[in-house]
Amino acid sequence: MQIIKAEHISMQFNMASEKVDNIKEYLIRKIKGHISYDILWALQDVSFTMEAGESVALVGLNGSGKSTFLKVLAGVLEPTGGTINVRGSIAPLIELGAGFDIDLTAKENVWLNGAILGYPRPVMRTYYDDIVAFSGLGQFMDVPVKNFSSGMLARLAFSVMTFGTPDILIVDEVLAVGDFTFQEKCRRRIAEMQRNGTAILFVSHNMEQVREICTRAVWLEKGKVMADGECCQVTEQYMKKGEQAGGESVLP
């Protein structure tokens, strides 16, 4: 069963092309129509489908459009063009700390995120202890998350997003900031979710991790799909191209 169907997706960003020193100057220029923008196409005519239970990696150099595409799929960004159909629930681990209120404690944020994900309070009550235990942050649950390190935030976010069995788990580079003990735990949790039928959409610059978790890969470059196919083949093509470019930028 197809759970994601994205057709001809494009995403345009307007990048201010001159420096404005303060908000007052910005507003005056904006009212006078004196703000100029460069147009950047972060995604261009990207079509993508995903079957239930599949594990797909998005690979590509910095700025190639991976996070933008995940945000579009998760409904965080409205694409400039194209259509998207998603069947089922998405647990999005996209931006570290997104979905958290930094002034609230870790405990309050667990409840907040449970509500955002649509879990009733009695369900959250049954999951709460497991979420805390998995995060390993038991003694920090009453601390506001603004005082958390990026690794602690990643632990909390991963724990909150991966309880239950969402239809699709989106993981964007979040594992990179956790320490090796937590990365190992996350890998085991992802494998367990895969066994339970959750589809995984995974972004990482670590090709070893990508090959371990995914069977298919999609390679993005300058917002376009360069290849879509068997994971080892696509990642090899992608790395070969990178080596040939000798570290040259492929930013849009």
Ligand X SMILES: Nc1ncnc2c1ncn2[C@@H]1O[C@H](COP(=O)(O)OP(=O)(O)OP(=O)(O)O)[C@@H](O)[C@H]1O
- 67 vs 113, beta carbon nearer ligand X: 67
Shortest CB 105 distance to ligand X, Å: 29
Q: Is 60 in the site for ligand X (CB under 6 A)?
A: yes
CA-CA-CA-CA torsion sign (219, 208, 216, 205): negative
Among residues 46, 63, 160, 168, which is the contact residue for ligand X, using CB under 6 A?
63
Contact between 55 and ligand X by CB under 6 A: the answer reads: no
At 212, is the secondary structure helix, strand, or coil?
A: helix
Please, what is the minimum distance in Å from the beta carbon of residue 64 to ligand X?
4
What is the C-alpha to C-alpha distance for residues 233 and 217, in angstroms, rounded to an integer?
9
Closest separation in Å from C-beta 23 to ligand X? 18
> How many Cβ atoms sit within 10 Å of the Cβ of residue 8?
13
Decide: is 79 part of the binding site for ligand X (CB under 6 A).
Answer: no
210 binds ligand X (CB under 6 A): no
CB burial of residue 18 (10 Å; 0-12, 13-18, 19+): exposed
CA 38 to chain centre: 26
Binder among 4, 44, 55, 67 for ligand X (CB under 6 A) = 67
* Structure tokens, 195: 């066994």
Q: Which residues are near ligand X by CB under 6 A? A: 13, 15, 40, 42, 60, 62-68, 251-252
